[in-house]
Structure 1
């Protein structure tokens, strides 16, 4: 990946809806060059897709939480399968340390958040869980 690829990714990270013509103009490259670069970045897996990032107004009224899970040996694959079926589970990370998985979840109400936490805690293979409810965002550098 060269500097042009990195600049393409940075601009798309800031605004994935930017037009190819505008992107080519900002990068001072031909539109055909940019199109070829995008196709290559998509085909080699660097760009997995284009998505929507909700702003503050879009996240209003949503409760967010991080859940740390300790999983029994050999139970990770079945747990991940079950977690994929829970729409409130937005991201799952493997971790090192005391916990095996870190989940990011979002729910509309405290009741639905509570129900999701109960559902996750009751899954076969889950040894223990710890929930951290997000109160406010102080820094957000995520692309």
Structure 2
């Protein structure tokens, strides 16, 4: 991957729906070059797909957070299975370091968020947790 690939990826991260002609003009190369680069990046697995970003959670009044969880002993799989039972849990990730699991949380209100935190924190097998509410989103 060279500088042109990195610049192309940066433009696509900002707006993956940019027409090839616009990408080519911004990069100072031909449309055929941009198309070939995109195809190569997809074929090599660097680009794994394109997605749609919905209106931000702030606009919808949703409460979003990341919760880092330390699990007691070898209970990570059991904790993950239980966490999947909460509809407010939008994603789960195992990790290394201080925390064993990172959970993406989303609720409609702060009251619902507080109830969710209480339910998760008191689960048998969770040693400790730390939660951060997501305040704003930045484009990557």
Q: TM-score, normalised by structure 2?
A: 0.73
Structure 1 residue 130: Cα displacement? 3.1
| Structure 1 residue runs without a partner (length 5+) | none
Normalised by the size of structure 1, how large is the TM-score? 0.71
**Is contact 1:83-1:89 (8 Å) kept?**
no
The aligned counterpart of 2:43 is 43
Contact 1:71 1:125 in 2 (8 A): yes
| Residue 13 of structure 1: how far off its partner (Å) | 1.2
In structure 2, the CA distance between the partners of 1:124 and 1:25, relative to structure 1 (3 Å rule), is farther
What displacement does 1:111 show? Answer: 4.6
Sort the Cα spacing of 1:92 and 1:37 in 2 relative to 1 into closer, same or farther, 3 A: same
Map 1:1-143 onto structure 2 (within 5 A): 1-54=1-54, 56=56, 59-60=58-59, 61-77=61-77, 79-80=79-80, 83=83, 86=87, 88-90=89-91, 92=93, 94-97=95-98, 99-114=99-114, 116-117=116-117, 120-121=120-121, 125-134=125-134, 136-137=135-136, 141-143=138-140
Q: How big is the shift at 1:5? A: 0.4
Work out whether residues 88 and 116 of structure 1, in 8 Å CA contact, stay in contact via their aligned partners in 2.
no
Determine if contact 1:90/1:106 at 8 Å carries over to the other structure.
no
Q: Secondary structure at the match of 2:130?
A: strand
Shift of 1:6: 0.4
Secondary structure of the residue that 1:96 maps to in structure 2?
coil
Number of matched pairs: 138
CA change 1:44–1:18 in 2 (3 A) is same
Contact 1:64/1:133, CA 8 A, preserved across alignment: yes
